[in-house]
Structure 1
Amino acid sequence: MSLTSSDASTSSNPVSRVFKVLFDTENGWRDMRSEHLEITPVLLGHTIPFALIAPLCGFYGTTVVGWSIGTGPHVKMTTGTALPITLLFFIATITAVLCVAKAIQWMAQTYCDPKPFGHCLALASYTATPLFLVGLAQLYPLLWLNLVVGLPALAYTVRLFYVGVPIMMDIDRERGFLFATAALCFGLVTLVAMMVATVLLWGAGLAPEFTY
């Protein structure tokens, strides 16, 4: 069945895609699979603006709001050290999404027919939407708050991915489960690599400075 012009416009709207993937997951992925997904529109319409949420909120939270541990002093990060950390956080987030998308495209050769990179990028990017949105919690940089909202967001992200892979890759659920599991393992490796890079950068002189 062909889409009307209004339906096509709605399905290609990044905001509409987000809501549909989050709240009508299977149909959201099916609609996206039927679209011609280009790299630049996916990056500009979803990946980049959503990846900005956590760095910008984190910058505000650590430099303006601050935090304290127990009865300790109220701590804030200096603007001079927060700026490069914010920039690196943003770059690392974009890089991670691109790496996962490339891994999905590479793995597709094993599990299904080859897919265009824009297709794989959309799967990786829209799957990460809950993790992007949970970056709003960085406005109040409290460890317990980030854990309370972060763990459910992570669980929902995993669910979106396991539902999305077989639909977007156009394969059966069993093969999709294996595909998604392999891709998630790559995602964990990417996360560990980012943590190691953070430690190395801190050791190279990018460690944060604080005011009390």
Structure 2
Amino acid sequence: MLLSHAFGLFTHPDDEWASIRKEHHTPRRLYVAYVFILAAIGPICAYISTAHFGWTIGNDRLIKLTEISALQMSVLTYLAMLVGVFALGYAVNWMAKTYGAREEHVPSYGIALASYSCTPLFLAGFALLYPVPWFNAIVFLIAACYGAWLMYDGLPIVMGIDKDRAVFYGGALLTVALVILVSTRVGSVILWNFGVGPVFVSG
């Protein structure tokens, strides 16, 4: 089962990457059986916490989002995550030949690397059930660092390249990931200007 990889990447990542390389699942199957499920963790937890638990900043009163606003934000976040994983996977395949990857014509490798490397970020979504900004920031920072390391660790195994090349390959992919992140932030601002923004209420 594809979801078993989520735990293996934390306990024995090298063996798990080798197993992933042998599977050759289609991008569609990876999305349906893995990304669609794990990417929903964060948005669902964010909806529950922002609409029902609320949060405080300093000694201010409790702040929540309206249920409709929280639902809109969660759905948009979910869609952005799906697009981001696909864009990162596409970048892996697009750069593959440049860095000497073998069998770069197999599109599942790029999506697999992107999907499984994002696993820590997917699972970090559980932290949103405790809506404290500094706590969430620390958890997601740790998850992002481990996800970046997973990408670097998996590149030579899945794409069949030397570890020296994986450093530059991983650096290029990290740049792409940052561009995707900035794009989602810009997209959020644009959507907020069209009225699809957060609506706050006092707890």
* Aligned length, in residue pairs: 200
Give the C-alpha shift of residue 34 in structure 1.
Answer: 1.4
1:180 maps to a residue whose letter is: G
Tell me the alpha carbon deviations over residues 9-59 of structure 1, each in whole angstroms, 9 at most, x when there is no partner.
xxxx11222222221011110111111221122111111101100100000
Unmatched runs of 5 consecutive residues or more in structure 1: 1-12
Aligned with residue 121 of structure 1, among 104, 111, 115: 111
| 2:142 corresponding residue in structure 1 | 152
Give the C-alpha shift of residue 84 in structure 1.
Answer: 1.4
Q: Indicate whether 1:45 and 2:33 are aligned.
A: yes
Secondary structure of the 1:211 match is: strand
Percent identity over the alignment is 35
Give the C-alpha shift of residue 137 in structure 1.
Answer: 1.0
4+ residue runs of structure 1 moved beyond 4 angstroms? none
After superposition, the CA RMSD in angstroms is 1.1
Moved more, 180-189 or 34-43: 34-43
Q: Indicate whether 1:31 and 2:19 are aligned.
A: yes
What pairs with 1:42-191 in structure 2 (closer than 5 Å)? 42-111=30-99, 112-113=101-102, 114-191=104-181
TM-score, normalised on structure 2? 0.95
Q: 1: distance between equivalents of 2:91 and 2:159? A: 13
Q: 1: distance between equivalents of 2:128 and 2:72? A: 17
Secondary structure of the 2:94 match is: helix
Q: 2: distance between equivalents of 1:115 and 1:154? A: 28
1:153 maps to a residue whose letter is: A
Give the C-alpha shift of residue 118 in structure 1.
Answer: 1.6
Give the C-alpha shift of residue 126 in structure 1.
Answer: 0.5
Give the C-alpha shift of residue 115 in structure 1.
Answer: 3.5
Q: 2: distance between equivalents of 1:85 and 1:153? A: 21
Q: 2: distance between equivalents of 1:84 and 1:15? A: 27
| 2:185 corresponding residue in structure 1 | 195
Q: 2: distance between equivalents of 1:36 and 1:69? A: 47
Unmatched runs of 5 consecutive residues or more in structure 2: none
Q: Confirm or deny: 8 A CA contact 1:130 1:153 kept in the other structure.
A: yes
